[in-house]
Structure 1
Amino acid sequence: MVYQNLLVETHGPVQYIIINRESKLNALNRDTLFELHIALGDALHNKEVGGVILTGAGPKAFVAGADIAEFQGLDVDAARNLAHENQRNIFDVIENFSKPVIAAINGFALGGGLELAMACHIRIASDNAKMGLPEVTLGLIPGYGGTQRLTKLIGKTKAMEMILTAEMISANEALSLGLVNHVVIQERLAQLAEEILLKILKNAPLALAGAIASVNAAADATVNGFDTEIVEFAKCFATNDLKEGISAFLGKRKPNFKGE
């Protein structure tokens, strides 16, 4: 597919998905969200892709929010469908992606942009990044999982303050709250994201998928996370990767995992 609003670049097992609307601070309009859904599906089913780095074009913004102009004229039913479809087809897909997804937050991550970053498994921010959920200033609330994921990541007290005041926080404050994993100078952002992803990808792909599912289950009140962990642990014993991992460990050599 030829993308109009994304850049997709593959470097070995690492695939970059770049929101490419720099003049609009990479705001998420309908077309961009649709393309993102397609790109994620392609990355998931491409055996050559080990993991994804999600970022925005240019130095100013990761994603500065949704395209607010597209909200004009929506009624209650249309808004409900919009939130439901985008949560299900994009934000939940990222969170439950069986391959690791890292957000490289290069500047503003506001509204839907912060929601997009929070759906990723790991977040790295440049030192100039600003993050927030300013929806209440428009008469809205976050609609792409922001109220839920922010609360799970930093706790109810601070999440309530951020959402109700609509104030932005700095990268360093986000780090202190546990909202991001690392803060680096902007020039090293992509490099660190790739270093971390390549470190992850040295491990067994099927085990990574099981670990992601199990960690996500810890924050899902509808399932028993311990049961999920037991199931995912047991599934590893049906894989050739586990046999290879044990053989390599006992043979004091590096494993050669194949995702089988």
Structure 2
Amino acid sequence: MDDIVVENRDSVCWIRLNRPERMNAYDFEMAQALAKAIEDNAQSGVIVITGTGNAFCAGGFLGSLQEADENELRTMFYNSLKLFDAIRRSPRPVIAAVNGPAAGGGNELVVACDLAIAAESATFGQTGVRVGSAPVLGGTNFLAMNIGEKRAKEVAFLCRKYSAAQALDLGWINAVVPDDELELEVGRWADELLEMSPRYLEIAKISSNAWWNLSQESYSSGLGMLVQAIGSEDMQEGARAFFEKRKPRFRQSPQKEE
């Protein structure tokens, strides 16, 4: 099975995450392939990212966290940043067509895209601190540009799940449509973009990256901390709990003596 499927429809490039058996969660090779597909299709007028099956993307593959292979995880973490930067560097508008749950790094993938249109059944949220990680590539920093700092901290700290309607109200995404109308609505947005000057769309897009670019130091320092925490007790317990479908039992801070 190909990790991603690329389909060119006239001037619109549809890139479909294609690992439905794991809710399209990506490992380092899949992140690398997605970044390359975005770069290779810069000649398209618009790029759309969506998922196969009932999920958009569940983020980084948690099996890697459970095994805690330092080199593999480091590569996945840094390839995630390369993927998100590829979206931001692309001269073309990139639309997230969110067909189902966008969780963890999958939500950060939505945040990195220029525009986001969601099916009514889609959900959004971060999972990091619940599974022994942290959303340092958008969830703890750039998401605040969309929904405000306090709300972004709520998302990152509490790992709650938000409906598409809630995400729209918060300014997280651009539109919500019935599930069976998602691709049609994305096509309408793409057609409207294709009427614009590609040269000046590129200028507008690159100029709009000002706040994304200012967050680069935060991304780099956050990745550095994640790498240092590879193999930690909390990382392993979080991944085990996820696969065993139970609440994690993280070690608590020592209680103060009375």
Q: RCO (CA 8 Å, sep 6+): is it higher in 1 or 2?
A: 2
Looking at structure 2, the residues matched to 99 and 148 of structure 1 have their Cα atoms a distance apart, in angstroms, of 24
Could you say what secondary structure the match of 1:61 adopts?
coil
Match of 2:111 in 1: 118
The verdict on how the C-alpha distance between 1:5 and 1:80 changes in structure 2, with shifts beyond 3 A counting, is closer
Q: How does 1:152-163 map to 2 (within 5 A)?
A: 152-163=145-156
User: 2:32·2:79 contact (CA, 8 Å) conserved in 1?
Assistant: no
Match of 1:233 in 2: none
The verdict on how the C-alpha distance between 1:222 and 1:22 changes in structure 2, with shifts beyond 3 A counting, is closer
Looking at structure 2, the residues matched to 51 and 153 of structure 1 have their Cα atoms a distance apart, in angstroms, of 22
TM-score, normalising length: structure 2: 0.78
Say whether residues 1:136 and 2:129 are aligned partners.
Answer: yes
Moved over 3 A (4+): 77-82, 218-223
Match of 1:84 in 2: 78
User: 2:25·2:58 contact (CA, 8 Å) conserved in 1?
Assistant: yes
Q: Which one of 144, 148, 152 corresponds to residue 141 of structure 2?
A: 148
The verdict on how the C-alpha distance between 1:38 and 1:139 changes in structure 2, with shifts beyond 3 A counting, is same
Per the TM alignment, residue 133 of structure 1 is displaced from its structure 2 partner at its CA by 0.3
Per the TM alignment, residue 201 of structure 1 is displaced from its structure 2 partner at its CA by 1.2
Cα deviation, 1:184-239, whole Å, max 9, x if unaligned, reads 0010111111110110111111100000011122554489xxxxxxxxxxxxxxxx
Unaligned 5+ segments in structure 1 are: 224-260
Match of 2:12 in 1: 14
Say what the alpha-carbon RMSD is for the aligned residues: 1.9
Q: How does 1:35-54 map to 2 (within 5 A)?
A: 35-44=33-42, 47=43, 49-54=44-49
Could you say what secondary structure the match of 2:78 adopts?
helix
Per the TM alignment, residue 81 of structure 1 is displaced from its structure 2 partner at its CA by 5.1
Per the TM alignment, residue 83 of structure 1 is displaced from its structure 2 partner at its CA by 2.4
Q: Which one of 27, 30, 46 corresponds to residue 28 of structure 2?
A: 30
Return the letter of the residue paired with 1:52.
I
Cα deviation, 1:91-142, whole Å, max 9, x if unaligned, reads 0110232101000001100001111111110000110111000111112101
Q: Which one of 191, 194, 202 corresponds to residue 195 of structure 2?
A: 202
Match of 1:57 in 2: 52
Looking at structure 1, the residues matched to 203 and 137 of structure 2 have their Cα atoms a distance apart, in angstroms, of 25
Per the TM alignment, residue 162 of structure 1 is displaced from its structure 2 partner at its CA by 1.1
Could you say what secondary structure the match of 2:92 adopts?
coil
Per the TM alignment, residue 86 of structure 1 is displaced from its structure 2 partner at its CA by 2.5
Unaligned 5+ segments in structure 2 are: 217-258
User: 1:53·1:194 contact (CA, 8 Å) conserved in 2?
Assistant: no
Looking at structure 2, the residues matched to 22 and 143 of structure 1 have their Cα atoms a distance apart, in angstroms, of 25
Return the letter of the residue paired with 1:69.
G
Number of aligned positions between the proteins: 215
Say whether residues 1:98 and 2:91 are aligned partners.
Answer: yes
